[in-house]
Amino acid sequence: AQSVAQPEDQVNVAEGNPLTVKCTYSVSGNPYLFWYVQYPNRGLQFLLKYITGDNLVKGSYGFEAEFNKSQTSFHLKKPSALVSDSALYFCAVRDAGGYQKVTFGTGTKLQVIP
């Protein structure tokens, strides 16, 4: 079975400070990992994904994520937070070799304080 955990329901960060949204995963094989963002009453928008290769993945809106195989983590980061980054962020995982669908985390609400 595959699973993904987002240990923080909410993250608060001051505008201009670096932000991190945490994600850990569990799969039996190699993982495909994704981050999505959701604004209120909207669908999820794709931010970035890790398939293979470089452990640091760059995505949309200045976000990046670091894949750490030994810690089974895929934390989302941004060097300088904007108020407009305030939203709900979802981490998702899929076993590269299995038959299961994508599993989503429960989401982390990011609040950027002006």
Which residues lie near other proteins (CB under 8 A)? Answer: 9, 32, 34, 36, 41-46, 49, 51, 90, 94-96, 101-102, 104-107
Q: Which is nearer to other proteins, 41 or 114 (CB)?
A: 41
CB 30 within 8 A of CB 97: yes
Question: How many other β-carbons are positioned within 10 Å of the β-carbon of residue 108?
Answer: 20
d(CA 24, CA 103): 12
Q: Which is nearer to other proteins, 45 or 71 (CB)?
A: 45
Q: How many separate helices (H) and strands (E) can be counted in the chain?
A: 0, 12
Strands 108-113 and 10-14: parallel
Find the shortest distance in angstroms from Cβ 60 to other proteins.
12
Find the shortest distance in angstroms from Cβ 16 to other proteins.
29
Find the shortest distance in angstroms from Cβ 46 to other proteins.
5
Q: Which is nearer to other proteins, 51 or 113 (CB)?
A: 51
